[in-house]
Structure 1
Amino acid sequence: MEAVVHQEHDDPDHWWFRARRAIFDDVLDGRVPLGPNARILDVGPGSGVNLPVLAPRGRVVTLDVAAGSLQNCAAKGATPVRGDATAAPFADGSFQLIAALDVLEHLEAETAALSEWRRLLADDGKLLLSVPALQLLWGRQDVLAMHHRRYGRRELAQKLRAAGFELERLTYFNSLLFAPILALRLAMRPLLDRAHSGGSDLGLRLPRPLEQLLYHTFAVERHWVVDRNLPLGVSLLALARPVVR
């Protein structure tokens, strides 16, 4: 079984998650009109950190193999389903929106996962996908999170098209923080062999003024990524629709 992703106890109030939600919210507002009863699948939801963005848009089903994750999401109002990201227990065309937000990099069978998500989308549905970008940035957090890979823009585009998707948006994001994050990753690289110990970087809380600065620096990109491609970033964001044959 292909499991995943965010840790079950990720802090939804962490500046990183809040900024990402702001960006996802604007992309969905600008690009994905949904009816009031839209069926939404949140793949690998972890503790449900993205439910505040998804739940107001329709009926959310969360798919994971981790019981703790599903319990957390059920407590937040989602319908939990235990299942595999590469062989989900749903009929073809079941969903108008699939959110796979920092999930694909955790899956060995990435091709099977993308094909499965294509199967699950209605003909007019959309896939909202985010992944960590650029192998140059490989670091401690990737090891702790059990990532298999990071992605380049061209590589991700090719994989989505091969799975039967047409791209509407594909852009880097978390661009303004790229330089300091790259510098930190490079500085820490000699210590990667010790990366299996210690807590997640996303569990680290900073003084509130610094967290607010980081949040606003990251979240300001919400005004750009709906219509513009950013040339470089820590992550990649794709919005794709199924090719209808």
Structure 2
Amino acid sequence: MELAEYKNIYRNEGSHFFYVSTHYLIEKLVKKFSRGRRLMILDAGCGTGLLAKKLARLGKVSAIDCSSEAIKFAGKNGVNARRGSINKLPYNNNHFDLITCVDVIYHSRVNDVAALGEMRRVLKSGGVLILRVPANKYLVSAHDVHVHTARRYGKDELKRKLRLAGFRVRCISFVHLPIFPISLFRVIWERLTHRVAASSIRKINPVLNSILAVVLKLEAEMISRGVIMPLGQGLIAVATPNRQSNPGQKMQ
């Protein structure tokens, strides 16, 4: 991800409807699967660290990112993140109860199946992975260039890669259905006019931002209760380690 985009996200993620609703959904799912227990949690690809900061209310959180810039911004959020790659996680087998990975494995520097395999390795046998990825290849926009997107996923493709990595998919749903038409219009507009916006993450009218946040949080409530969205801007998956798969050799 470009440095300017880290700065942009750090400035806006506390109030921007996209991050507010995404973090709300992740927290709802973590609470659902924690059943009141305090968990050992890994935020894999923590970025600027705000999600990890929020998850600290629910357990002991470790955070990791490959970017030194991300580590600096995470520090500003009070998160002591570790620098490292999700392609080879620096943790022992069966270490975490739960892993969150939000908009990370799509990145050009990530081998998605290998990274998922590493998450499988460091999860306990009864652990849970909560994974979010961008969806639908036809939604590729200028923003994808700024965040170094290598791939957007289809639902079947994501299921297949999770299974290849040794996971059993418990549920998978599209997310951000209400803003899907906006995203599609933006992509069409960019292609027709050749006018490129610097980023999708920027301040918008506060009233509109509040309305979108409320609408998307309602969607998050529905998804957390098992409602499957038929279309959307992204995909959210909940998966558990397949007991028949081999988590690999223990790291020294």
Taking structure 2 as the reference length, what is the TM-score of the superposition? 0.87
Task: Select 1:219's aligned residue among 217, 228, 234.
Answer: 217
Structure 1 outlier segments of 4+, above 6 Å: 3-6
Structure 1 residues 96 and 77 mapped into 2: Cα distance closer, same or farther (>3 Å)? farther
CA distance in 2 between partners of 1:160 and 1:147 (Å): 19
Structure 1 residues 129 and 111 mapped into 2: Cα distance closer, same or farther (>3 Å)? same
Q: Is 1:230 aligned to residue 232 of structure 2?
A: no
CA distance in 2 between partners of 1:119 and 1:157 (Å): 18
Q: How many residue pairs are counted as aligned between the two chains?
A: 238
CA distance in 1 between partners of 2:2 and 2:156 (Å): 24
Matches within 5 A, 1:198-209: 199-202=198-201, 204-209=202-207
Structure 1 residues 108 and 25 mapped into 2: Cα distance closer, same or farther (>3 Å)? closer
> What is the DSSP-based 3-state SS (H/G/I as helix, E as strand, rest coil) of the residue aligned with 2:86?
coil
> What is the DSSP-based 3-state SS (H/G/I as helix, E as strand, rest coil) of the residue aligned with 1:56?
coil
Shift of 1:105: 0.4
CA distance in 2 between partners of 1:170 and 1:4 (Å): 30
> What is the DSSP-based 3-state SS (H/G/I as helix, E as strand, rest coil) of the residue aligned with 1:206?
coil
RMSD (CA atoms): 2.2
CA distance in 2 between partners of 1:34 and 1:114 (Å): 26
Show structure 2 runs of 5+ residues with no match.
Answer: 245-252
Maintained 8 Å contact 2:128/2:239:
yes
Maintained 8 Å contact 1:7/1:47:
no
> What is the DSSP-based 3-state SS (H/G/I as helix, E as strand, rest coil) of the residue aligned with 1:8?
helix
Partner of 2:163: 161
Taking structure 1 as the reference length, what is the TM-score of the superposition? 0.89
Q: Can you list the C-alpha shifts for 1:55-90, whole angstroms capped at 9, x where unaligned?
A: 111111111122232233344443421111111111
Shift of 1:125: 0.9
Larger mean CA deviation between 164-173 and 50-59 belongs to 50-59
> What is the DSSP-based 3-state SS (H/G/I as helix, E as strand, rest coil) of the residue aligned with 1:225?
helix
Maintained 8 Å contact 1:4/1:103:
no
Shift of 1:51: 2.3
Identity in percent: 27
